[in-house]
């Protein structure tokens, strides 16, 4: 599937728009259109239902080591700045960037690639940030321009070695930046914190400084004690949260895959340290199964366990659920979700030390090496098991998913081109979004075959009967074949048509989006039929 086709369908049919498009768009920000908002909402609802409200606290779930409880939270986007100090984000959540003095552009150090080339007795490194498929074309075009050569003299360019990442080049004096015309315009790499800073209240400057959360997880950790104290929940249990997160990505790219504003669906699962490896395995497998159940089956979905040298010091296991997004080079996968064994790292960080209310949390003391000292809340975040009397700091398993990435993967997986007969029975190429019915934005469309003979009235009655139960759509405009095509592009699994026979025997046809099979059911059975089929 070509990504351009999906991007164009998303705009044409109202799944996704560039943010502030009439002003030329705003890099890294995306808006969901009328179909997109339903799709993403269905993804989030499926997650919440399957992980939280639909979870049976009293039975042992398949593959789980024991029964467990699930509950939810909805925390603020702006939190006390000390939260980000203790989580490590203030000091450690950064990428390295390089700036170009000529083009005034900024690049992520590890995303600039290039090749050494020699011509006219000068050897230079031509760099690019083009997608992998276009990078050779881009460096060749720019090398020709630099050496003042015509395209027909491309054979004068002596390429030396394969593509390298800029991180492998130590001296930038012979580097041609991705948008530069002269050499040596890139600065040395510098750290760039990805958190968005804002000012709270009327206080100017650093005193009022705060951050937009880069993850929803920390809201859960800092409320751990509140949840314990306000509910009768016992370990093991999980707290779930869905909400916006913000990261000032240096180079947002690949549609919504890397955005600056996005939504996460996170669970912090608290358990006894001894049981944590079993719970880690349970969540890793449970989360993979969730994507499979919603249609991301097959070789484009995989689970990748991190090697031990990739793990944080406190973690005994991390796995990524990955999808082979079509914008990635062949055999490359992009992360959909990470499942991490976080030990007691987060609760301990928020617990240890005591915050002095007179200290600006962003200007804490540093140790002898100049590293900022982390200071926690000083609150006891340990757990006492009232059956055994044991007190301990729980270990945490964190399945952390991106709602936008999951939605994008479902869009990519759904996009299909096949052939379907038109009104005259001639096969025509059709574009169809084969969403799982649970996440399809519209569950059924209702059409009168023609706009006369009482058919619209019957169709409207069916629409009114179904509408309170799920999102349905009424359409009486244009040829029925065209109406089917529009619903195929919207991913509507069922189309219900009122025709001449309906007026005689009170039956309608139902058409299946994927198989194109059509069958008749009585008007009274429409609701039950669609409900049973969408699951």
Residues lying near ligand GAP in the complex (CB under 6 A):
215, 217, 247, 249, 258-259, 262, 264, 266, 335-338, 398, 400-402, 404-405
User: Whole-number minimum distance, CB 100 to ligand GAP, in Å?
Assistant: 23
User: Whole-number minimum distance, CB 364 to ligand GAP, in Å?
Assistant: 23
d(CA 219, CA 15): 30
How many residues does this entry show for the chain?
535
- In the complex with ligand GAP, which residue's Cβ is closer, 286 or 520? 286
- In the complex with ligand GAP, which residue's Cβ is closer, 27 or 518? 27
Determine the angle formed by the axes of helices 455-466 and 526-534, rounding to 10 degrees.
Answer: 50
- In the complex with ligand GAP, which residue's Cβ is closer, 334 or 481? 334
**What does 491-528 look like in DSSP terms, one character per residue?**
T-SEEEEE-HHHHHHSEEEEEETTT--EEEEEGGGHHH
- In the complex with ligand GAP, which residue's Cβ is closer, 259 or 492? 259
535: burial class by Cβ within 10 Å (0-12, 13-18, 19+)?
exposed
- In the complex with ligand GAP, which residue's Cβ is closer, 38 or 346? 346
- In the complex with ligand GAP, which residue's Cβ is closer, 338 or 361? 338
- Tokens 């979700």 locate to 337
347 token code pair = 């609760």
Half-sphere exposure of 74 (CA within 13 A, CB side): 2
User: Whole-number minimum distance, CB 257 to ligand GAP, in Å?
Assistant: 6
HEC profile for 126-169? Answer: EEECCCHHHHHHHHHHHHHHHCCCCHHHHHHCEEEEEEEEHHHC
User: Whole-number minimum distance, CB 78 to ligand GAP, in Å?
Assistant: 17
User: Whole-number minimum distance, CB 346 to ligand GAP, in Å?
Assistant: 9
- Measured from the Cβ of residue 55, the count of other Cβ atoms closer than 10 Å reads 17
User: Whole-number minimum distance, CB 411 to ligand GAP, in Å?
Assistant: 14
Distances in whole angstroms, Cα of residue 56 to Cα of each of 61, 90, 273, 380:
8, 38, 23, 30
User: Whole-number minimum distance, CB 217 to ligand GAP, in Å?
Assistant: 4
- In the complex with ligand GAP, which residue's Cβ is closer, 108 or 513? 108
């Amino acid at each position: 599937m070509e990504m351009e086709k999906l991007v164009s369908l998303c705009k044409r049919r109202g799944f996704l728009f560039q943010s502030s498009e009439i002003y030329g768009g705003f890099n890294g920000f995306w808006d969901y259109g009328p179909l997109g908002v339903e799709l993403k909402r269905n993804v989030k609802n499926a997650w919440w239902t399957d992980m939280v409200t639909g979870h049976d606290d009293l039975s042992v779930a398949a593959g789980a080591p024991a029964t467990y409880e699930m509950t939810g939270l909805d925390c603020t986007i702006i939190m006390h700045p000390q939260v980000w100090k203790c989580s490590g984000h203030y000091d450690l959540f950064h990428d390295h960037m390089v700036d170009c003095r000529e083009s005034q552009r900024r690049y992520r150090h590890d995303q600039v690639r290039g090749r050494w080339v020699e011509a006219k007795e000068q050897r230079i490194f031509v760099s690019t940030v083009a997608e992998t498929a276009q990078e050779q074309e881009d460096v060749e075009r720019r090398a020709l321009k630099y050496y003042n050569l015509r395209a027909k003299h491309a054979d004068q360019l002596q390429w030396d070695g394969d593509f390298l990442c800029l991180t492998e080049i130590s001296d930038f004096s012979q580097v041609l930046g991705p948008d530069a015309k002269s050499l040596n315009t890139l600065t040395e790499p510098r750290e760039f914190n990805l958190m968005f800073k804002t000012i709270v209240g009327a206080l100017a400057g650093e005193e009022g400084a705060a951050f937009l959360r880069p993850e929803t997880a920390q809201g859960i950790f800092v409320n751990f004690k509140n949840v314990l104290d306000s509910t009768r929940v016992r370990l093991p249990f999980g707290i779930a949260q869905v909400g916006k997160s913000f990261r000032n990505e240096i180079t947002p790219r690949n549609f919504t895959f890397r955005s600056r504003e996005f939504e996460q669906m996170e669970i912090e699962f608290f358990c006894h340290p001894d049981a944590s490896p079993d719970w880690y395995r349970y969540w890793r497998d449970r989360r993979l199964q969730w994507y499979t159940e919603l249609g991301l089956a097959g070789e484009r979905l995989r689970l990748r366990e991190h090697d031990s040298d990739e793990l944080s010091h406190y973690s005994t296991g991390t796995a990524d659920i990955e999808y082979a997004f079509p914008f990635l080079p062949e055999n490359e996968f992009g992360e959909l979700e990470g499942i991490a064994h976080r030990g007691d790292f987060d609760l301990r960080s928020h617990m240890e030390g005591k915050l002095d209310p007179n200290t600006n949390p962003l200007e804490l003391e540093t140790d002898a090496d100049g590293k900022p000292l982390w200071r926690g809340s000083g609150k006891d975040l340990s757990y006492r098991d009232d059956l055994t009397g044991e007190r301990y700091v729980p270990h945490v398993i964190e399945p952390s998913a991106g709602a936008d990435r999951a939605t994008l993967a479902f869009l990519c997986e759904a996009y299909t081109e096949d052939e379907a007969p038109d009104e005259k029975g001639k096969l025509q190429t059709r574009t169809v979004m084969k969403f799982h019915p649970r996440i399809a934005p519209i569950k059924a469309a209702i059409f009168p075959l023609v706009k006369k003979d009482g058919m619209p009235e019957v169709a409207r009655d069916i629409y009114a009967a179904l509408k309170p139960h799920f999102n349905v759509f009424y359409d009486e405009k244009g040829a029925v074949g065209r109406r089917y095509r529009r619903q195929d592009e919207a991913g509507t699994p069922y189309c219900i048509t009122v025709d001449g026979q309906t007026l005689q025997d009170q039956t309608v046809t139902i058409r299946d989006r994927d198989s194109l099979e059509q069958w008749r059911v009585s008007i009274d059975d429409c609701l039950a039929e669609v409900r049973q089929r969408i699951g």
